[in-house]
Amino acid sequence: MLVSFSVAFYLVSLLFSPVRAVLEVFEVYQPVPTGHGSVGCNEAILLMDHVFGYSYGEPYVGIYEPPNCTFDTVRLNLTVTSNGTQYDRLALMYLGDTEVFRTSTAEPTTNGIIWTYIKDMSQFNVLWKEKQKLIFDLGNIITDVYTGSFNTTLTAYFSYEGNVRTPDIILPISARKSAQNASSDFELPSDNATVLYQIPPTASRAVVSISACGQSEEEFWWSNVLSADEWTFDNTIGELYGYSPFREVQLYIDGVLAGVDWPFPIIFTGGVAPGFWRPIVGIDAFDLRQPEIDITPFLPLLKDNKSHSFEIRVTGLSVADDGTVTFADTVGSYWVVTGTIFLYLDDSMSQTATGQAPEVNAPAPTFAVTRNLVQSRNGTNETLAYSVVAERTLTVKSSEYSWSQNLSYSNYGYLNQQGLSQKNNQQTFGSNTIAQLTGNKTTNEVIFEYPLICNTTYGLEDGLSISAWIRRGLDIESTGGLGVSTYTFTSGSLNLHTEQHGTAYYYEPSDDESSVSYGETFDVFGSNAGGVQYFRNVHAVNGTVVSDTDS
């Protein structure tokens, strides 16, 4: 791998530098306002002060008591310290059975790291106003090699600021295991992520947010191959993961498709090569967005005083020998999934439901798949090129509301050097629109784009080496909508653009005694959440910030 002059300079400087202090790790995002309201509530409550050592299957469990004052705004401060050697870990926070925050950890250093993330949690006000069991699930494992614990403090700040209206009722789509002091996530495809609810007749609007990310075989789903090619390079790199690089997260109501999510390719701090993500972590690594599906067109059907099913599925693709492409109706192991139903009530609405099902127009997506395997003269598999191109439209319409989605996706993958080098170029575009067909005839729209290019080359002599470069981004344009969006993280309009690019190297000797990873990362971020323009441009080399401008 070519190493830039700045990387080389910093590598040499490390040999002569004194003992390094605790490293501040951070995600580049628009700072959340921390001012308090002029009236009402100005309270801070320590929710958790806990060390996650060997904590796999043993979440923190506490009791939350709301402050004795009137509030409409809640902000969380999560601060974590760690030192030693440890993998990145996924963490889920619940109020009762409802997931309210999904985050992940940075990988620590011997001298230690610290990070702080502040999040607006006002969308869950109706839960914060009642006594709750608070569960924070950060599954960590301690061994002689992986020694890093995560020392966490979680503080909530309550204030009254004349905030927007937030949901009146919140219903979890989860395994509902808080009574057993356990995490309530579903793991797909092994679990059945289905719940039953009776929707109150005064519900006037309804939105479902979905929290879903891949782990293990599915962590890098965007680099997976067609299932027929899983063992193409078994003599060099072993099994590749299948079901293609395409994933669709689906929401079904009473067995009818209500909406989908084509997921953002989250990369955690150990992903691809750890040197990319120190001290700048990947986009959204400290706060995984929850895409939203507006199910208001289903309300005339749902408000009939009967129970209705809500189900989340995740699927990849199945490609037949003749090239026919269909949904596989499954994925590898595994996806961590929950959902949340946000209901807004209007007591003036009619108490009688029509029982009328919405008009659903959801044709199967169009897929185009290519595959080309090149062999040497002796029959050795040398290179594999493949591509998946997809488009989908979906519309759900009642007499009063229409929900529509327009999505497009492409992924061009190429493996050479008998599978030791891989490149994926993925693009995801989409727009989601909810339109009121009567009354004020308002329309709210979210447009998004997820570009990703990643190239990795593996070396297997005397251990494992990884040389990698990456360019990725996230773009969101939103007109705003109900409450505080779990996807845009704001209550109004948003224009957000962020991108990261860089190079990294990782080496782990065959004795597994120590490893090293260094890299160079550029991060550019711009956003106007809350009507406030914010811009930041950061450049880090080998764990050190060399330039950082914001405005």
Q: Which residues lie below 8 Å from residue 108, measured CB to CB, with a gap of 6+?
A: 82, 83, 84, 85, 86, 148
Q: Where are any strands of DSSP class E within 346-380? A: 359-361, 366-375
**pLDDT on residue 6:** 40
Looking at the DSSP assignment, which residues form a beta bridge with residue 340?
Answer: 172, 209
Which of 250-264, 284-298, 498-512 has the weakest average pLDDT? 498-512
The closest alpha carbon to 476, from 289, 347, 330, belongs to 289
Tokens of 297: 């067109």
295-345 residue pLDDT tens: 999 999 999 999 999 999 999 999 999 999 999 999 999 999 999 999 999
> Could you give the 3-state DSSP secondary structure of residue 108?
coil
C-alpha–C-alpha distance, residues 335 and 366, integer Å: 24
CA–CA separation, 103 and 255 (whole Å)? 30
Rounded Cα distance between 202 and 305, Å, is: 11
Cβ neighbours of residue 378 closer than 8 Å, sequence gap 6 or more: none
* pLDDT of the residue at 36: 64
**Identity (one letter) of the amino acid at 86?**
Q
pLDDT at position 350 is 63
User: Token pair of 203, please?
Assistant: 């519900």
CATH class in words for 163-548: mainly beta
- Tokens 């447009």 label which residue? 447
Residues 62-90 have a mean pLDDT of 97
The residue among 90, 128, 298, 76 whose CA lies nearest residue 211 is 90
Query: Which of the four CATH numbers 2.30.30.830, 1.10.760.10, 2.60.120.230, 3.40.50.280 does domain 21-162 have?
Result: 2.60.120.230
Helix, strand or coil, per DSSP, at residue 377: coil
> What DSSP element (H or E) covers 82?
strand 73-82
DSSP 179: G
Q: How far apart are CA 126 and CA 341, in angstroms?
A: 13
pLDDT in tens, 188-206: 999 999 999 999 999 999 9
Query: Average pLDDT for residues 143-166, to the nearest whole number?
Result: 95
The average pLDDT across 510-530 equals: 91
**What distance in Å separates the CA atoms of residue 160 and residue 47, rounded to the nearest whole number?**
19
% pLDDT > 70, the chain = 94
Average pLDDT value for residue range 484-497: 97
HEC readout, 337-348: EEEEEEEEECCC
pLDDT, one tens digit per residue, over 360-403 is 999 999 999 999 999 999 999 999 999 999 999 999 999 999 99
Closest CA to 455 of 477, 426, 435, 492: 426
The secondary element (H helix, E strand) that includes residue 412 is: strand 401-416
Give residue 185's Cα distance to chain centre: 14
Per-residue CA distances from 481 to 66, 191, 293, 469 (Å): 27, 32, 12, 37
Distance CA 259, CA 384 (A): 34
pLDDT at 7: 41
Name the burial class of residue 507, with classes exposed (0-12), middle (13-18) and buried (19+) by CB atoms within 10 angstroms of its CB.
middle
Confidence tier at 86 by pLDDT (50, 70, 90): very high
CA distance 200 to 206: 11
With 0-12 CB in 10 A as exposed, 13-18 as middle and 19+ as buried, what is 228? Answer: middle
Q: What is the pLDDT of residue 20?
A: 64
Determine which helix (DSSP H) or strand (DSSP E) holds 6, and give its type and residue range: helix 5-15
Residues 6+ apart with CB under 8 A from 93: 99, 100, 101, 102, 103, 134, 135, 136, 137, 154
Counting residues of the chain whose pLDDT is more than 90, the rounded percentage is 91
Mean pLDDT of 436-458: 96
pLDDT score of 4 more than 60: no
Query: What DSSP character marks residue 35?
Result: P
What's the confidence (pLDDT) of residue 460? 92
Label residue 216 left, alpha or beta by phi (over 0 means left) and psi (-120 to 50 means alpha).
left
Q: Do domains 21-162 and 163-548 have the same CATH topology?
A: yes
Mean pLDDT of 44-55: 98
pLDDT at residue 10 in the model: 37
Whole-angstrom distance, CA of residue 439 vs CA of residue 400: 9
The full set of domain ranges for the chain reads 21-162, 163-548
Residue 127 identity: L
DSSP state letter for 105: P
Question: Which amino acid would we find at residue 96?
Answer: G
Rounded to 5 degrees, what are φ and ψ at 419? 90, -5
Measured distance between the N- and C-terminal CA atoms of the chain, rounded to whole angstroms: 35
Over the chain, what is the mean pLDDT?
A: 94
Asked if pLDDT for residue 89 goes beyond 50, the answer is yes
Report pLDDT for 3: 40
pLDDT at 33: 82
Q: Contact, 409 vs 388, CB < 8 A?
A: yes
Q: Answer for the pair 344, 294: CB distance below 8 angstroms, yes or no.
A: no
Torsion of CA 157, 160, 164, 168, to 10 degrees: 80
